[in-house]
Amino acid sequence: MLLKTNRTWSQHQLAVRLRLQQGEHYGILTWERRRNLVHAAKTALAAGLCWWLATLLGLHEGYWGSISAIIVLQSNVGSTVSASRDRLIGTLIGAAVGFAFSLLGAPPWNYVVAVLVAMIVCGLLELRNSSRLAGVTITIVMLVRTAGSHWTIALDRVGQVAFGIVVALGVTTLVLPDRARQWLSDGLAQEFLLLDVFFESILAEFSGASTGKPSAAREDVLAVLRANNQLLEAARNEPAGGPGMREGLGVLSQSGRSLFDALVALQLAVYGSQNDCYAQQLEPALGSLAEDIRSEFHRLAACIHTWRFATADEGVNLERDVANLEVRMGAVRHTGMEFSQAEILRAYALQLHLKQIAHLLRAARVETSRALGETQGSGAIQTARDSV
C-alpha cells in the first residue's frame, strides 16, 4: 500500500537529496512552521467545537470537554489516539476509585488513600500515563464542591472527558490529518542515510583517516532511532494504513536497530587499525563490497521514500561481493606470517561484520516487500528472497 498523504518537508528534502525532484523554497513560512500553525488551528477548532456543542446540547460544565480536547489532540493521529486512550482509562479509574472512597468518610485521609490506590492500580496495569489523570479525576470528584452527589460528579466527569476525546479524534482524523506513519517512513529513510554516514566514517577511520566523525555520526543515528521509536508506537495506534504497512514499518525499524548494532560492533572490531597493512591485500574485493553496501543504504532509503521495495538490483549484488571477498581472504591467507596476529584478526572481523551488514540490508528490503505483499517482478529479488 502506498502512502497517500502529502509529503512532509523532510521528505521533500530527501527527494532532492536522492535527485527525485527539484528543491523548493518556502520563504519565512517554512514547512515546520506551517505544520505548527495547522496543529494550533486544529486545537483551537476542537476546543471551540466542544464548547459550542456542549452549549447547544445543554451539557453541564461543558468546558471540561474543551480542556480534554486540548490535552489529547497531538501533532499526529496516532499520538492523539494514544493520548485519548490514556486519558479515558485514567478518568474511568479515577472516577470509580474517587466515588468508592468518598463513601468511606471525609477528606483528607480517604482522599490520600484514594490517590494512592489509583496510582497502584495504574502501575500494576502498566498504565503509567493514565496514573496522573486518575489522580486529577479523584481530586475533582472528592474535593470540588458542586451541586449533586459524588456519583453524579464522577459520571459527569467521565462523560465530559469522553465528549472532548470524541471531538478531538474527529478533528485530527478529518481536518488535515497528520499521520504518524507518514512521518515514520520519512524518519526511517533519513535513518538509513545516517547509518550510511556512520558506515563511511568507520571505514575512513579504518583506512587511517582519523577525523573523529564516527562519534558524531553515531550520536546522530541514536537521536533518529529514538525519534522513530516514538513514532512507531504512535503509528501502531492509527486505525488506517493496513496491517501490511504496520508490519513493514516494524520490519524497517527493527532492521535499523540491528544495523546500528552491527555498525557499532564493526567500529569496535577495527579500533586501532590505522597502521594495518594486511587488509590492503583484500582489495579490490573489500572496496567493492564496501561501495555496494553504501549503495544499498541509499537504495533502501529511496525504496522507503517511494514505498516500493520490489525493485531491480541495478548492478548491486551483495552476495557476489561477499563471495569475492571470501575468495580473496583465502588467496592471501598464506601471507599471514608476515603480519601481526592483531592485524589478521581485525581483517577477519571486518569481513564478518561487512557480511552481516550486507545480509541485514538485503533482508530489510526483502522482508519489507514480503510484509507489503508486493508482486515480485524481478528474478534478482526472488533470488534474494530465497537466500534470506
**259 and 341 inside one domain:** yes
Give which of 330, 354, 348, 347 is closest to 278, Cα–Cα. 347
Has residue 282 been placed in a domain?
yes
Q: CB–CB of 80/72 below 8 Å?
A: yes
- Predicted local distance difference test score (pLDDT) of residue 91: 92
Q: Are residues 252 and 342 both part of a single domain? A: yes
Residues 275 and 302 occupy one common structural domain:
yes
Total domains present in the chain:
2
Does 113 have pLDDT greater than 60? Answer: yes
The residue type of 120 is I
In this structure, are 206 and 243 located in the same domain?
A: yes
Which of residues 149, 174, 199 is at a domain's end?
A: 174
First-last CA distance in the chain: 23
Query: Scanning the structure block, which residue is given the C-alpha cell 472528592?
Result: 142
3 domain-assigned: no
> Among residues of the chain, what percentage have pLDDT more than 90?
34
* pLDDT at 50 > cutoff 90: yes
For residue 1, tell me if it sits in a domain: no
Domain shared by 118 and 212, yes or no: no
227 belongs to a structural domain:
yes
Reduced 3-state DSSP string for 289-345: HHHHHHHHHHHHHHHHHHCCCCCCCCCCCHHHHHHHHHHHHHHCHHHHHHCCHHHHH
Is 2 within the bounds of a domain? no
Structural domain boundaries, residue 239: 180-387
Q: What is the pLDDT of residues 237-288, one digit of tens each?
A: 887 666 688 889 999 999 999 999 999 999 888 877 666 677 778 888 888 8
User: What distance in Å separates the CA atoms of residue 327 and residue 333, rounded to the nearest whole number?
Assistant: 10
Residue 278 is predicted with a pLDDT of 76
> Are 77 and 178 within 8 A, CB to CB?
yes
> Who has greater pLDDT, 343 or 259?
259
Please write the tens of the pLDDT for every residue from 119-162: 999 999 888 889 988 999 999 888 877 666 778 888 888 898 99
In tens, the pLDDT along 86-109 reads 999 999 999 999 999 988 877 788
Q: Residue 163 pLDDT more than 90?
A: yes
Q: In this structure, is residue 205 part of a structural domain?
A: yes
180-195: average pLDDT: 89
Which residue among 128, 146, 174 closes a domain? 174
User: Which pLDDT does position 377 carry in this prediction?
Assistant: 46
What CATH number corresponds to the domain at position 338? Answer: 1.20.58
Same domain (yes/no): 160, 234: no
Same domain for 138 and 269, yes or no, is no
Question: Does 199 share its domain with 345?
Answer: yes
Same domain, 138 and 232: no
Residue that terminates a domain, selected from 158, 174, 190: 174
274 and 146 share one domain: no
162 and 187: one domain? Answer: no
344 domain-assigned: yes
- How many C-beta atoms surround the C-beta of residue 347 within 10 A? 25
Residues 141 and 213 both lie in one domain: no
Residue type, 15: A
